[in-house]
Amino acid sequence: MDLVRHQPLLDAARAGDVSAIERLLAVCQPDIRRYAQRNCLVSDVDDAVQESLLVLSRKVGSLRAAAAFSSWLFAIVRRECHRMARKALSTDPWDDDKVEAWLARLPVDDLRHDVAAALESLPAHYREIIVLRDLNEMTIGEIADQLNASRAAVKSRLHRARQLTREYLLG
């Protein structure tokens, strides 16, 4: 959502204007759907969108900083996707303790092979971020300077790269 263009709408919705909340829901729905399609199981997308819109309509007034709207909204969608996955699978595929236990049971050589394959499966710009941060142990600032990118862009790309790597390893 283009926050600058929709700032008055967001401010009115935060103030409790019902028609502004309805318009905000309509404006945000395509972004929520795209994000849910990337983060949910295919069968959960529609439900996650509906639940996220419901949470948005009920809680938009509690949002303190309008600048945090996008990250707040996507956190809601991500949380709904994870909640639905836990319900559907009767387990949490993002449960770090279970992932650690699973990784500990793998022979080291198999794990190395799997990690190498996961890294090779990444698009080049994600693989580069993982290599710079996790293998070369560069800081976010150093990576941003080297890639001529903002710190926020580096953090976002690193998060997505790690997420894709995890999905590959767990898939």
Residue 88 is predicted with a pLDDT of: 67
Residue 91 is predicted with a pLDDT of: 53
Please give the share of the chain, as a percent, with pLDDT higher than 70. Answer: 89
Q: Answer yes or no: same fold for 7-89 and 96-170.
A: no
Which burial class, exposed, middle or buried, applies to 80 when counting CB atoms under 10 A from its CB (0-12, 13-18, 19+)?
buried
The interaxial angle of helices 18-39 and 7-14, nearest 10 deg, is: 110
Residues 6+ away with beta carbon under 8 Å from 40? 48, 80, 81, 84, 85
Residue 30 is predicted with a pLDDT of: 92
d(CA 105, CA 100): 9
Residue 96 is predicted with a pLDDT of: 67
Residue 3 is predicted with a pLDDT of: 58
Residue 79 is predicted with a pLDDT of: 87
d(CA 130, CA 97): 22
The string of DSSP codes covering 133-146 is: IIIS---HHHHHHH
Confidence of residue 74 (pLDDT cuts 50, 70, 90): confident
Residue 7 is predicted with a pLDDT of: 85
Q: Could you confirm whether domain 96-170 is CATH 1.10.10.10? A: yes
Confidence of residue 71 (pLDDT cuts 50, 70, 90): confident
Parse the chain into domains and list their residue ranges: 7-89, 96-170
Which pLDDT tens digit goes with each residue over 10-67? 889 889 999 999 999 999 999 999 988 888 776 778 888 999 999 999 988 888 777 7
Residue 147 is predicted with a pLDDT of: 93
The whole-number average pLDDT for the span 99-116 is 77
Which pLDDT tens digit goes with each residue over 139-149? 999 999 999 99
Mean pLDDT rounded to a whole number for the chain:
84
Question: Is residue 125 over pLDDT 70?
Answer: yes
Tokens for 92, please give them: 């949490």
Q: Which CATH number fits domain 7-89: 1.10.3720.10, 1.10.3210.10, 1.10.1740.10, 3.10.20.30?
A: 1.10.1740.10
Q: How far apart are the first and last CA of the chain?
A: 31
Residue 72 is predicted with a pLDDT of: 87
